[in-house]
Amino acid sequence: MQVQNISNQPNFKGNIILVGEFSAVPTKLIRNAVPKLKELMEKKPYDLFIEQHRSKGVVSVYAQKEKDFMKNKGLKSLVMMKDSEDFYEKCAEYVIKEQDKKILANPTTGQKIKNFFDKISTKFVSVMQDKDEV
């Protein structure tokens, strides 16, 4: 009999989303970068968006949650590069690192509440274990 491993930790899997249409050169470069990008986004709680701005001749690489991207709000990290350059892996690494820093610096309300109760419980345990105070 096999028992499935049960974990309370959420299993995240960030997606790579191409926004809009791409010309031939960026399409080829992105196709070559996809295996590395999948590896980078494997356990991230946000998605990686790649968008080409043809009029400007640049490609934007965003790291953001999909629901926030659609509403154009929330934490976002962005890098822009020329559409003929092959730096997708480096741009993605940089954007992911910056997004992780932003997430750590701006915890969600649920995380703030959890931290608060963790501090209270630690203080309570230390008071209850102190034998000098009775």
Q: Would you state the pLDDT for residue 2?
A: 44
Residues in CB range of 78: below 8 A, 6 or more apart = 60, 61, 62, 63, 95
Q: Of 47, 62, 59, which Cα lies nearest the Cα of 23? A: 59
Q: What is the pLDDT of residues 23-49, one digit of tens each?
A: 888 889 889 988 998 988 888 888 899
Q: Is the pTM of this model over 0.75?
A: no
Mean pLDDT of 111-129: 86
Domain segments of the chain as ranges: 16-128
Q: Distance of alpha carbon 1 from its chain centroid, rounded?
A: 37
Average pLDDT, the chain: 82
Q: Which CATH class is domain 16-128?
A: alpha beta
Q: Would you state the pLDDT for residue 7?
A: 46
